[in-house]
Structure 1
Amino acid sequence: MGDDSNDLRLTGGRAIARTLVENGVTDMFGVHGYINNVLEEAFRLGINNYHFRHEQSAGFAADAYGRLKRQTGVCYASSSGGMSNYLAPLSQGIGALSPMLLLVGQHGTAGDGLEVLQEGYAAECFKTVTKWTKRLTDWELNSYWTQKAIRDTIGYPPRASLP
């Protein structure tokens, strides 16, 4: 019971990570932050992590990866300041029809409008530079939205999605 590696309880982060693996994601690019629960499970499941010093560089790497491999380039960020650094790569990616997926950490819904640490709303910020955006508030649907995002990034025309 004390060994977390044998804990089979499904959490929102585990659902996203497992869905990434099940859909062929092998590499991710970004800077750690509020999204660590997803990242820890993804890396435990064998996804390669390319950690950058700045989110913008990670976004451009995901863009290049998507273009070269013709697979979804997955990048990740913390909310607020970290996520805002992805505006340029997503803008470039949508113009180039790059298949990209940005995963952004988020504060809990109980903190909405309360000026919590790193309050930021990625789904609102990136509407104009992605195919679609979605704020995940029901962890039981995380797998569905992640799978939809991966499929939509490579569907015609390929572009970034943000679940």
Structure 2
Amino acid sequence: MRAGTDRVPRRRLPSLALGGLAVLVAGAFATALLVLPVKAWMNQRHALSSSSTELQALEEANRGLQADVDRLRTRPGIAQAAREELGVVKRNEKAYRVLVLPTLTATFPDGWLYPTIKTLVTERVATIGTSASQSADPDPRTTPAPTSP
């Protein structure tokens, strides 16, 4: 070999190529044996975390449902559920329905007539609301007949 040249001798080329190939194969094995399992392990940790969160929520819902079942196995629980869900009333009780007045949903355009109409409708709704809240028994079937003196 001459001085000053950067050529690699021909005898070393096959050994360098084999060495590079060996490093590549070793890197592929390292990737297959280390990196891919670590990635799968991290994905499993994430899935386990989300599954445990979901399990906690389902267990909480299950506890609530079990409390409802336990409550409905008693007579007071059955009576309370019948009152709340079916509107059952005991014999010497009166039932009152409280209705919520709807809000004014009409929108009036601008113009010479519409502000007056809007004022009238708003006042009428307010009047109905105060008269309905003042009456103690809105159902005429349950209102006792007035007695004369």
TM-score by length of 2: 0.20
Bigger strand share: 1
Larger helix fraction of residues: 2
What is the TM-score with the length of structure 1 in the denominator? Answer: 0.18
